[in-house]
Structure 1
Amino acid sequence: MEQFLIFGVVGLSTAAVYAVIGSGLVLTYTTTGVFNFAHGAAGMLSAFAYWQLAVGWGWPVPLALAAVLLVLAPAFGLLVEKVVLRPVQNLGEAERLVMTVALLSGLIAAARWIWDPNLPRPLTTFFFERRPLHIGPAVITWHQALTMAVAVLVAVGLWILLNRTRTGTEMRAAVDDRALVGLTGADPVKANRVAWVLGTQLAALGGILIAPTIALDAAQLSLLIVSAYTAAIFGRLRSLPLTFLGAAVVGCMESYLTGYLPQNQYLPGLRLAAPALLLFLALLLFPHGRLRGRDRKLRPVPTPTMRGTWIFAAVIVVFSLVLVTVLDEVDIISYGPMFALGVVALSFVPLSGFAGQISLCQLSMAGIGAVVWGQLAPDGQPWALVAAFAVSALAGALIAVPALRLSGVYLALATAAFAVVLDRWIFTLPSFELLGVRISVFNQGAVDMAGPRLLGFRLDEPAELMVFAAVCLALGSLAVAALRLSRFGRRLIALRDSEAAYATLGGSLLVARVLVFALSAGIAGVGGVLYGMQLQSVTADQFTFVAGLPIFLIAVIGGLGAVGNGLFTGTAYLGPIHLLNAVAPWTHNIVQLLPALAGLGFARHPEGIVPGQRRGWEPLARSRVALSALIGGFAVLWLLRVGDLIGNTVLLLGTVVLALALRTWAQSKEAADVKAEVPVEWWGVRRPWRAEDEEVLSRGIAGG
């Protein structure tokens, strides 16, 4: 009993932190309609800032706390509200979600840049020099007592603010109808600003309170928000009392699992994954109300042509062949994964682009595919690629079935929780036996990945594997384009537009969602196999939830409905990193921020970059003269490069300049041709009157 009480005290003190952070999350969502995935990252950044002031620079603790909680955290909240979220306030739920995911990824990268993750940064607990309090057999430190007292004060203060003040009423009303609130004389922008300041302060307070008890690590502190997510879901994203109850459940569960979980090699990861597992179960079991501020801004899905897609597929293969002829082996190894990661990114197109289903666990699906290939194909047996697709597809279907009634933010949370469970538990398991079958995951180490054996030939050189991955990406792009043009593809788009209407017209939501989740997961699994082949050996750390965020962001920026998004994402993810590192190695940390910065600029082009670029380059593709000149000019530059007469930089810049010049010429010529076809009744109005026009008109009248 004594041990039970001790673990209970520890659990309640941890629960108090989760309650503080979760209440800030609920406050922000209740008053702005934005679910802030970066809420935990804001607390993480505040904890690092507090360490820097109090330990790094030796400021007095009260002064450091005041600087973080009263200056830095409010300033950060105002900045986020004004620069990041106000531009997307009137956009759809998906756009707002992308912005907060981009902020999460960017804050983690920024913290790792500013504070070297390889250096330990211990923090002492508050009032550590005082003797602990004794309540029966339980011992409570002053830090634990302070944490629980703060949680109580936060609960009381937030309840009074939201239910007994005009400001709180305005904050709650602004999310439902900002225009109507404005007519009453209230200021919805001010209400949002207050909500973001308070929410960021609560995240900062929770981050500072929990930082002394765990390692000060950017990713670990940011993902503590998973426990706060669980507490918020207990409160259905609107009830503070239920959020505090959920926090108590999560905190005590973690503490008692630490004390009573049997000690063996299979269960340590379960304790770490327990909050994410509980979040997944809570999402499935609890009823969910209407998502606040859930206005859907649907955009048409681009319709590819099979002729154009065949040309695009050929471009992918030719691009890979050019790369292997102009790059040395080291660069091929560096750039090689772009086509494999492009296949992973392609998996977002049918799932999110066509069906409108949000998933944050596609890289985890890729990890499953990599494991299957590594365990079943030590000699590159080609049938194992089909097995990798099938097992990954089965994992995707297992997500879709229980998550059938989830959508939007709830579905994003469920897939994020699934990814974290894989990261912290499943991928860390040693090999085990199930129903007489020996199953190995990463086996707590690295998995060797052999190249495929095709038609009696073994592909094991980096150049061969790069071309093979490009061929797979080309075939995948063709398959996704065919899906878009098929009846099932049209059904998926109807499902995205309205699930209720889709079901009313006789469509099966279960079948459609299971099939699209399985298909996208299978594609991602094949991408994971190709990625592992290129690296020759993979670990679980390469398929984590955090590692998948930049790929998701770039795929969203490219345009989730565009078939060409796979090549765009793979190229944009790896290209700038290696190019800038080669030209200016000091930009390494800046490069890590690029996906997040691009994601934060998503509000300017919510339809995606690829559709816009496609429209811009279509005139060149339609012009035989311009297209022939481009192919011929590039061929000359490539031959000069192969002959070592020019370098890769000249090849790249020459190709870009030539392509841009020919595109401009083609656009102007096409515009002139369109302008020339002015109807006769608009001569002299839409174009200048010409001397020969009178003769043309006279002949026309005479002939009539």
Structure 2
Amino acid sequence: MKWRWLLWLLVGGPIAVFSIWALVDNARLYVITLLNGLTLASLYFIVASGFTLVFGLMRNVNLAHGSLYLLGGYVAYVVADRTGWWILALAAGFAVAALGGLLIQLLVLRHMQGQELRQTLVTIALSIVIADLLLWTFTGQVHQMEAPAWLQGPIRDLPLIRAYSAYRLSLLGFGVVIGLGLWWLLTRTRVGMMIRAGVDDRGMLSASGVNVNMVFAITFMLGAGLAGLGGVIGAVELSMVPGEDTRLLLASLIVVIVGGMGSVPGAAIGSAILGLAETYGLAYAPTYSVVFTFVILILVLAFRPRGIMGKAVA
């Protein structure tokens, strides 16, 4: 128990000292960076929550998750450009990524259950193929969607920071709604009960008359659809460009490792830690910002190998 208090002191002490110094030095920069970190964390959570369902809960290694993010963003860009309907683009990005995830599950991963190495190699290959097809179709040009009209422009007259992007602030709402929806699905519904039961004992669930393959396919679709949904949101906030798939896949892996496999609250905590570390690092120590991510990984793997909210195997 003593080492836990020592760990909290070693981690929390420098953070508290930095926060006090930053607030005194430039409170506006500190608060804006805090909001930027939380909104970035919301995007990471939306994408990583889908990865948590597929990798953390179902134990399926899908390293094509980042490519599904990119696919959803590009599809949404095309739909929004031709129709002008942002909501339709949002639905299209989710649906196409979900369909792509379903095909990956039915045609590939379904036949490799429990074979993590094969899943890893095959999904890496799929990721490369999908990314190259998207590069061939959309070239290397940067694509960026416009935010919906009701979220364009800044929110003004805010205390201290004066103005902040309405769209970026809305990401917090997106993250909260999706997080609560996933928590309700997994803990309060029959489908969630079947998903958790299938992960724990696939054979027993199948013997009880449940179509396990269908349950897992639906779960995989939802996880892939969330990646596509994140791609739509990222197409407005971060733009779509080759390489974003790798970045978001790496972020999802870090979130799952830090937060704990299969835990939606853990994904939220991991996303917040990663988002804040990235934005504060870029704002106050841009040369060494990437170091903070690896320091977090080292601390978590050293003291909480299963993640902050991870459960020990009985």
The answer on whether the counterparts of 2:168 and 2:237 sit within 8 Å (CA) in structure 1 is no
* 1:96 counterpart = 2:119: yes
* 1:27 counterpart = 2:50: no
Change (3 A) 1:155 1:215: closer
Corresponding position of 2:189: 165
* 1:81 counterpart = 2:99: no
Which protein has the bigger helix share?
2
Residues 174-193 of structure 1 mapped to structure 2, 5 A cutoff: 174-193=198-217
The answer on whether the counterparts of 1:230 and 1:278 sit within 8 Å (CA) in structure 2 is no
Higher relative contact order (CA 8 A, sep 6+): 2
Q: Within 1, Cα distance between the matches of 2:53 and 2:62? A: 10
The answer on whether the counterparts of 1:254 and 1:271 sit within 8 Å (CA) in structure 2 is yes
Report the number of matched residues. Answer: 282
Residues 226-625 of structure 1 mapped to structure 2, 5 A cutoff: 226-261=250-285, 267=287, 270-271=288-289, 274-275=292-293, 278-279=296-297, 282-288=300-306
* 1:141 counterpart = 2:172: no
The answer on whether the counterparts of 1:13 and 1:147 sit within 8 Å (CA) in structure 2 is yes
Change (3 A) 1:62 1:215: closer
Corresponding position of 2:143: 121
Deviation track 1:246-267 (CA, whole Å, cap 9, x = no partner) reads 11111111111121116xxxx2
What's the secondary structure of 2:209's corresponding residue? coil
Q: Within 1, Cα distance between the matches of 2:146 and 2:77? A: 10
What's the secondary structure of 1:132's corresponding residue? strand
The answer on whether the counterparts of 1:73 and 1:204 sit within 8 Å (CA) in structure 2 is yes
Q: Within 2, Cα distance between the matches of 1:218 and 1:146? A: 26
Q: Within 2, Cα distance between the matches of 1:279 and 1:104? A: 24
Change (3 A) 1:61 1:80: same
Corresponding position of 1:208: 232
Q: TM-score, normalised by structure 1?
A: 0.38
What's the secondary structure of 1:288's corresponding residue? coil
Unaligned runs of 5+ in 2: 1-26
For 1:254, the aligned partner's letter is E
Corresponding position of 1:110: 133
Coordinate RMSD, CA, aligned: 2.5
Q: Within 2, Cα distance between the matches of 1:276 and 1:165? A: 37
* 1:155 counterpart = 2:173: no
The answer on whether the counterparts of 2:47 and 2:248 sit within 8 Å (CA) in structure 1 is no
Q: Within 2, Cα distance between the matches of 1:227 and 1:181? A: 33
Q: Within 2, Cα distance between the matches of 1:221 and 1:134? A: 36
What's the secondary structure of 2:200's corresponding residue? coil
Change (3 A) 1:134 1:174: farther
How far 1:148 moved relative to its partner? 0.8
How far 1:129 moved relative to its partner? 3.1
Corresponding position of 2:64: 38
The answer on whether the counterparts of 1:231 and 1:243 sit within 8 Å (CA) in structure 2 is yes
Q: Within 2, Cα distance between the matches of 1:30 and 1:225? A: 14
How far 1:215 moved relative to its partner? 4.0
Change (3 A) 1:132 1:209: same
What's the secondary structure of 1:140's corresponding residue? strand
What's the secondary structure of 2:108's corresponding residue? helix
Q: Within 1, Cα distance between the matches of 2:42 and 2:63? A: 20
Change (3 A) 1:210 1:271: farther
Corresponding position of 1:413: none
Unaligned runs of 5+ in 1: 293-704
Q: Within 1, Cα distance between the matches of 2:119 and 2:218? A: 18
State the identity as a percent. Answer: 26
